[in-house]
Structure 1
Amino acid sequence: MTAITRTGRTGRGRGSVALLACGALAAAGLAAAGVAVLEPQSATASSHREAPLISGQPQFDNTDVYAFVSPDHPDTTTVVANWLPFQEPAGGPNFYTFATDARYDIHIDSDGDAQDDLLYRFTFKDHRKNENTFLYNTGAVESLDDPDLNFTQTYDIELLRLEHNKVVSTHKVAESLPVAPSNVGKASMPDYQALRDQAVQKVPGGLKSFAGQADDPFFLDLRVFDLLYGGDLSEVGNDTIRGYNVNTIALQVPNTYIQESKEQPVVGIYSTTERENAEGDWTRVSRLGMPLVNEVVNPVKDKDKFNASSPEGDGDFLKNVTEPELPKLIEGIYKIKAPAEPRDDLVGVFLTGVKDLNQPPNVKASEMLRLNTAVKPVAEPKRLGVLDGDTAGFPNGRRLTDDVLDIALQVVEGELVGSKNDLGDAVDANDKEFGAAFPYVALPTAGSDTKADGKATKSDATGLTGGMSSITASWDDNTVMLVSAASGATGVLLVVLGVTWLRSRRHPARESWLG
């Protein structure tokens, strides 16, 4: 119990154990499936700055992909893909734009053969009204066509149909759709919700589209990379993505458009970014499907290769998956015994889909989200998804509310092979509520909201599990006293965090699919 308690001191972050866990979990799965991935190495959030080349190209860096049956329109599927991580909201005067020399692509595999059947492509253009000012906006902005919004972007959508990875047709779905701007601040954009609403566009064929800035929906404590929370879990308790924004592309598509048939409703979904070079050729520089794979599963030598690859070639990364490093790291630091290898238990979760849930017939193991579009959404989603008996959640697709790190941590530590556990990182939800309608992502934090009043916006302690929930941290005298007391009694604080983190949360419903 001592070792588990030590492991449990993860506070409110998707941290050390958890972050690495998801990666190893994906890795192990790839391994058993004959689709290798890689060893954990340094990185950051889901795909935030996960590879050497892409970390220097944030406009092209795809951070997360979500795919779920739309809760308010269950005859449709919504895909949310995010780019350009760690946007400081007040980071002007050159705020955050989509690249104009990029192709932002959403890929659909309708039959499980690891090859694209459909591809939705988004390309962007810049527009500036006045070149003789440095300002993003020259006054209060009340609409997307407001003369005071000096800088704007528009985008086109193309639909490419493919056979055996060859394009057989291209169709312009929409053009010159408006992009929601960066949320400069309350003075500049007093009603940002109105701007968001105007950027939600109906597209012919029953589709909806959105592109623009949003709150980053991923939640975790990135200090995992400081030797697994300092090596002794002394660094815990911060959702370090809180307060940062991303650029979001969201697309809602009728299920019948992407399904192979009603009898075969499972689709594979992932996203990529291609960049145009000086000769006019296009190179894939980012790829993302399942969360956390490239950042904490692939070793540095394979990260850029993975970003440039396609799912049908995932067998190239096999070796490092059959013997994943993550469980060994956890065992070495926190004394939780690693499950026996090879990790065949993880194949269904991360590579092929779970049998009788989201595994298409004759599936070829490959890394992408797999969604059974015939599974209806639930009124009250459970954050642990399928592990808690909620088959509409991860790993059946990925909803914004799914706690993929807790799910991954429990599975990588043997949940599927008899080592029942309730491990988690105590970061159970995003700091902002998600919307009830498309595009569902929360509004971006405004530039005027961050640190303007001297309060901590990314490091308060509210939301810690159990008895810690009454603590409110801010940069005032009380907080200084709290921090001082904590630093003087680290052991007590860690015990409290460990106990709350380890609080038993059994989920009998999971037996229905674990067998």
Structure 2
Amino acid sequence: MPLGRLTPRTGVPVRSVAILTALALGMAGTALLGAGAGTSTASSHREAPLIAADPKVDNTDVYAFTSPDNADTVTLIANWLPFQEPNGGPNFYPWADGAHYDINIDSQGTGKPDITYRWTFHTDDQRGTNTFLYNNGPVNNLNDPTLLFRQYYTLEELRPNCDPVTLVEHGQVAPSNTGKASMPDYGTLRRQATVQLPGGGQTVATQAADPFFLDLRVFDLLYGGNLSEVGQNTLAGYNVNSVALQIPKSRLAYKGDATRNPVIGIWSSTEKQTLKLSPGKADPTGKFVQVSRLGNPLVNEVVLPAGLKDAFNSLPPSEDHNQPAVVAKVLDPEVPKLVQAIYGLPAPAAPRTDLQEIFLTGIAKAANGPYAVDLNSQLMNQDIDPNRFVPAEELRLNMSTPMTAVPDRLGVLNGDFQGFPNGRRLTDDVVDIALQVMEGATPGHLIPALAAGDKVNTTDKPFSASFPYLALPYNKAVNQAQ
């Protein structure tokens, strides 16, 4: 839909959204401020104390966009297990057996999932007491007997008050890329692992080059205090575990009608059971507990103090607005003051209701926020009950936004309304977008002093033109990838 230029209104009363606005600032603020250095945080890589010790179930990034080569579908991608150095043998990087890896869809704006797509993995390890090798010869096909460590998954579609629907019963995972000699054509293995879904769509569980890109020297007092420490993609060379799902828009929209109800909210989450330990084994037991979640990028790192990070990972979005712990920091964020202290750029005046609308309610006239346009809030859906709507931290996508012929890495800020924060494409430069937004930029009105950002504008490995669009995983040591 044509939107023109987003211009904030003034004089709008502040709405109480509790922790949610703080989370919004966290999304935008991680680009500017962080506790730690090196590879301690990036997007949501190892962002909370407990999840840092359990990387197999650590959500890192979520992407949602209209499929560029199939406009009637949406592609959803969720990543886990960050900072995979390609030479990580002999065990490499398996999915956690029995855990629930979920992508959740909220089509009504309640903060609760109307649909959950759930991957559950199990392992077939044929090494036994014979060998330590992941594969004992070249693997040219997923069925080759030389592949000794295999994982499989069940994919279910879950809807409230309905029986689960199994979409994939025994899908095979594309394995960790153990090297050029072992897997000379990883692209073939990924294609073999891609499964067509009943009713349309496809899915794959695979290792991939981490699609998130930024210069982590942001943590050295904002790129060295004088923007001298920029230009290196610190995540180059690292892999992640990815699930990708391409699904018809009608399956995601409320009441199956993507014309009347085009906006959805998306987040990923991970659940696992408590482990009962015994000599040489760990058996899952008890109820499943949510241990990680992720919607918008750059959420749980900097605004939330360490004592609240694990709690946020355990909450559903529907409960976010009931957490009042950091309201004061939300409407008067610290990050712009830090930029002002270092670079002399005046901090935008508080309260920051523009950030509140961008990240928590979605942008819509009905949200009563500072923007006077309709972009990507579930409040735009014609068949929802607006009395049930709650502010919630979700990545929101308007599936009716026209396709962009030449995507702009700055998304909505540069007039490309299909880009972040209206969904998130692999090529969206969320760090530079966040930097601009925190300093008060609006579409067509960027902050000139920050125009160069971190000078990391894309990944060093090109994305694919077809599903799942992710770059193939690296197979060289990180210190050679650059």
TM-score by length of 1: 0.78
Q: What amino acid is aligned across from residue 221 of structure 1 in structure 2?
A: D
Structure 2 residue aligned with 1:62: 59
Say yes or no: does 1:371 pair with 2:400. Answer: no
1:325 to 334, 339, 342: 334
Say yes or no: does 1:405 pair with 2:431. Answer: yes
1:87 to 84, 88, 91: 84
Q: Which deviates the most, 173-182 or 409-418?
A: 409-418
Mapping for residues 258-273 of structure 1, pairs under 5 Å: 258-260=252-254, 261=257, 262-273=259-270
Mapping for residues 419-434 of structure 1, pairs under 5 Å: 420-422=446-448, 423=450, 424-434=453-463
Say yes or no: does 1:450 pair with 2:477. Answer: yes
2:22 to 18, 23, 37: 37
Structure 2 residue aligned with 1:51: 48
Instruction: Kindly report structure 1 stretches of 4+ aligned residues shifted beyond 6 Å.
Output: none
CA contact (8 A) 2:272 2:291 kept: yes
CA contact (8 A) 1:36 1:314 kept: no
Q: 1:65-87 CA deviation, whole Å, 9 max, x = no partner?
A: 00001111111111000000000
* SS of equivalent residue, structure 2 residue 300: helix
* SS of equivalent residue, structure 2 residue 182: coil
Say yes or no: does 1:220 pair with 2:249. Answer: no
Distance 1:402 1:232 in 2: 25
Q: 1:471-499 CA deviation, whole Å, 9 max, x = no partner?
A: xxxxxxxxxxxxxxxxxxxxxxxxxxxxx
1:122 to 115, 119, 123: 119
Deviation at 1:296, TM superposition (A): 2.6
Q: What amino acid is aligned across from residue 143 of structure 1 in structure 2?
A: N
Mapping for residues 304-315 of structure 1, pairs under 5 Å: 304-315=310-321
Q: 1:399-419 CA deviation, whole Å, 9 max, x = no partner?
A: 000111111111110113997
Distance 1:96 1:417 in 2: 41
* SS of equivalent residue, structure 2 residue 159: strand
Q: Give the helix-richer structure, 1 or 2.
A: 1
Mapping for residues 481-492 of structure 1, pairs under 5 Å: none
Structure 2 residue aligned with 1:490: none
Q: What amino acid is aligned across from residue 252 of structure 1 in structure 2?
A: Q
In structure 2, stretches of 5+ residues that fail to align are 1-13, 27-32, 276-284, 365-373, 380-385
* SS of equivalent residue, structure 2 residue 360: helix
Q: 1:174-195 CA deviation, whole Å, 9 max, x = no partner?
A: 1110100111111001111111
Say yes or no: does 1:172 pair with 2:174. Answer: no
Q: CA-atom RMSD, angstroms?
A: 2.0
Structure 2 residue aligned with 1:198: 192
Distance 2:416 2:82 in 1: 30
CA contact (8 A) 1:50 1:295 kept: yes
Distance 1:288 1:381 in 2: 24
CA contact (8 A) 2:413 2:443 kept: no
CA contact (8 A) 2:75 2:247 kept: yes
Distance 1:393 1:170 in 2: 33
Q: 1:333 to 1:212 in 2, by over 3 A?
A: same
1:143 to 125, 134, 141: 141
Structure 2 residue aligned with 1:235: 229
Distance 2:439 2:347 in 1: 7
Q: 1:415-465 CA deviation, whole Å, 9 max, x = no partner?
A: 13997414222111111111111111000001xx326xxx7423xxxxxxx
Q: What amino acid is aligned across from residue 457 of structure 1 in structure 2?
A: A
Say yes or no: does 1:281 pair with 2:278. Answer: no
Distance 1:251 1:195 in 2: 17
In structure 1, stretches of 5+ residues that fail to align are 1-29, 459-515
Deviation at 1:37, TM superposition (A): 2.5
Distance 1:196 1:417 in 2: 38
Deviation at 1:101, TM superposition (A): 3.3
